[in-house]
Amino acid sequence: MPPDHRNQMTNTATINYIHKQSTKCLPPRLVPAEDLDHHPLTRIKNKRNENKLYIATLNTRTLRTPESLSDLEEALKDLKWDILEISEMRRTGEYIEEHQDFILFNKGVIEEQGGVGFIVKKYLKEHIIEFIGINDRTAILNIILPSFKKTWTIIQVFAPTEQADEFKHESFYNDLSQAIISNYSKNIIILMGVFNAQVGIKQCKEDVLGHFGYGKRSKNGQRLVEFLLEHNLTLLNSILRKTTSGPGSLQAEIIETK
């Protein structure tokens, strides 16, 4: 990787702000009743704090029907969120839907399988630059968030499982790599979603990981760590003492430019 690419650094003050807010803003996810969520979404108070923005990631397992979308809307009413990244929407096509309170973006290829997308609250509409559907595993939201001058590139992913063939893994990471390279030098990058990976404990010279990893490293975990090292990205979950778990993943990963 070219030295100038690795040496690109995001604004220090901005990154310090994001790290400070990470335990409140980045890790939240919705999980089934039987799963433990160490970072539940904060319950709504009477007044929204204009200086905080809540980004969450969710594996819905399906958002194919109007009924399932209505169920999700109902579940989100009592929770704080601004941008929701979604895996396994299981809708086909690439399109944007404008609803009363939010904007929905979908990217899906195979009917009733996979698919990724975003749900963004309506008040952020004028801040959205574009949605990009790379494939049914990777989608991008480029947005200028309130109180920030620089563009944010928020990437939602749904990685292949351990059982997938090598070609699917290579294709996924190649596409993701191109998405990061094309935005790295000019934007702040947040990479979230389901990586189906267990990174385990930090090993020698793995500065992209924190000290709170646990368990053994899976093959997908090794792929992910190598990818982080290549692109100089930090795994925020490993910086926090506890991580969240959700359907379809061994560990939910939240990644940010250093």
Domain edges within the chain: 3-257
DSSP state of 249: B
Q: Where are the beta strands (DSSP E) in 72-178?
A: 83-87, 93-98, 102-108, 116-121, 128-135, 138-143, 152-158
Closest CA to 18 of 212, 152, 202: 152
Q: What is the C-alpha to C-alpha distance for residues 102 and 247, in angstroms, rounded to an integer?
A: 24
Separation CA 235–CA 69 (nearest Å): 30
**Which of 41-50, 107-116, 179-188, 222-231 has the highest mean predicted lDDT (pLDDT)?**
222-231
User: 101 near 79, Cβ under 8 Å?
Assistant: no
CATH architecture of the domain with residue range 3-257:
4-Layer Sandwich (3.60)
Q: Which two tokens stand for residue 181?
A: 């390279």
CA-based radius of gyration for the chain? 17
Q: Per the structure block, which two tokens stand in for 131?
A: 């949605």
Is the model's pLDDT at 249 over the cut of 70?
Answer: no
Predicted confidence (pLDDT) per residue in 51-74, tens digit: 688 898 888 888 888 888 888 888
The pLDDT of 208-237, averaged and rounded, is 87
Question: CA of 176: how far to CAs of 107, 165, 169, 173, 197, in Å?
Answer: 15, 17, 11, 5, 16
pLDDT of residue 180: 92
pTM for the full predicted model: 0.72
Q: What is the mean pLDDT of residues 228-233?
A: 89
